Amino acid sequence: CPSASDLRTANGSRICAQLYSDNSPYYNQCCGGAVLVVEPGADVPYMPRGWAARVSSLVVGTRCELTVWSRAGKKGKSRRFGA
């Protein structure tokens, strides 16, 4: 997995989080598969098509916080993740 401070786009702009579809019990094989990029300031009440219940690994960038909910539309239980 990339480190929290390494989350940047190809042009160098900051990324707040990256969510991954594949996981593994072996750390060096985590953060694989499809990647969903979360931009700074993003507010997404619904997961993009095909991502619901699919995220298995995530990395949150420095100075960012990612809040997720157990149900669509920001309903249900929430959990916050940071770097």
In the chain, domain spans:
17-82
Q: How many CB atoms lie within 10 A of CB 32?
A: 14
Q: Using CA atoms, how far apart are residues 22 and 54, in angstroms rounded to an integer?
A: 8
pLDDT band at residue 75 under the 50/70/90 scheme? very high
Q: Using CA atoms, how far apart are residues 44 and 76, in angstroms rounded to an integer?
A: 15
Q: What is the pLDDT of residues 21-37, one digit of tens each?
A: 987 777 777 888 899 99
Q: Using CA atoms, how far apart are residues 33 and 75, in angstroms rounded to an integer?
A: 27
Q: What is the pLDDT of residues 33-52, one digit of tens each?
A: 899 999 999 998 888 998 88
Q: Which residue is it, tokens 């929430």?
A: 78
Amino acid at 64: C
**Residues 6+ away with beta carbon under 8 Å from 28:** none
